[in-house]
């Protein structure tokens, strides 16, 4: 319970204080997802759980890195997504191509807009976008294999993560979105929490 309270407190502190935290800001920002990683690590040694826990830990590192380097943070988040893809694919190795279709429509709409406005970052943005949409697809593929309740949590988390990143890209490369900072962070943290929750209990 205490670690959950710590995660919520750190998230609220970063939302409310932000840049006023000075050099502490990256650590405070990384704290919520770090706590999620610890919770999943402690939940058991199953392979898919370990993969998610490592993904969360790397995502927490990316939370801090992106404060200093957008490209560095992007690359680190990409590695986290690869761990998530591995975890969801371990749960459900079959392709489940029909579940790719809605994700492909989303990607077909979002990626041309974001990549077209990303300038010199268009290749990293394209690669990252393809990876995160692959992660959402694999979460969709694993829904029933995880069990309906946990699978729904995992898919909802993956979608929220994708929405957060889509909003980051749009706000950064296309045009500012009012209230984007709060929307991005809330969607991101909630998405990570739901992904973690999907793997906290054994199947």
111-119, long-range: CB within 8 Å, 24+ apart, which pairs?
113/170, 113/174, 114/166, 114/169, 114/170, 114/173, 114/174, 117/173, 117/174, 118/169, 118/173, 119/173
Band the pLDDT of 203: cuts 50, 70, 90: low
pLDDT in tens, 71-130: 999 999 999 999 999 999 999 999 999 999 999 999 999 999 999 999 999 999 999 999
How many CA atoms lie within 13 Å of 119's alpha carbon, on the beta-carbon side? Answer: 4
pLDDT in tens, 43-64: 888 999 999 999 999 999 999 9
What does the pLDDT average to over 194-198?
96
Closest to 172 (Cα-Cα) out of 106, 119, 133: 119
Band the pLDDT of 202: cuts 50, 70, 90: low
The reported pTM is 0.94
What integer pLDDT is reported at residue 53 of this predicted model?
97
pLDDT in tens, 127-181: 999 999 999 999 999 998 988 889 999 999 999 999 999 999 999 999 999 989 9
What integer pLDDT is reported at residue 100 of this predicted model?
94
Closest to 138 (Cα-Cα) out of 106, 90, 105: 90
Query: Where on the phi/psi map is residue 113: left (φ > 0), alpha (ψ -120 to 50), or beta?
Result: alpha
């Amino acid at each position: 319970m205490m670690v959950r309270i710590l995660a919520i407190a750190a998230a609220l502190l970063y939302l409310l204080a932000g840049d006023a935290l000075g050099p502490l800001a990256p650590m405070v920002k990384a704290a919520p997802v770090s706590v999620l990683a610890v919770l999943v690590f402690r939940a058991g040694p199953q392979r898919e759980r370990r993969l998610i826990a490592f993904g969360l830990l790397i995502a927490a590192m990316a939370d801090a890195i992106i404060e200093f380097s957008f490209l560095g943070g992007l690359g680190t988040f990409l590695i986290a997504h690869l761990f998530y893809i591995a975890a969801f694919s371990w749960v459900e190795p079959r392709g489940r191509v029909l579940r790719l279709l809605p994700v492909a429509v989303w990607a077909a709409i979002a990626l041309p807009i974001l990549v077209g406005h990303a300038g010199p970052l268009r290749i990293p943005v394209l690669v990252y976008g393809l990876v995160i949409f692959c992660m959402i697809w694999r979460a969709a593929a694993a829904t029933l294999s995880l069990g309906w309740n946990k699978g729904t949590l995992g898919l909802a988390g993956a979608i929220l993560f994708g929405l957060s990143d889509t909003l980051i890209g749009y706000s950064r490369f296309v045009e500012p979105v009012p209230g984007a900072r709060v929307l991005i962070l809330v969607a991101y943290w909630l998405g990570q929490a739901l992904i973690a929750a999907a793997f906290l209990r054994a199947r």
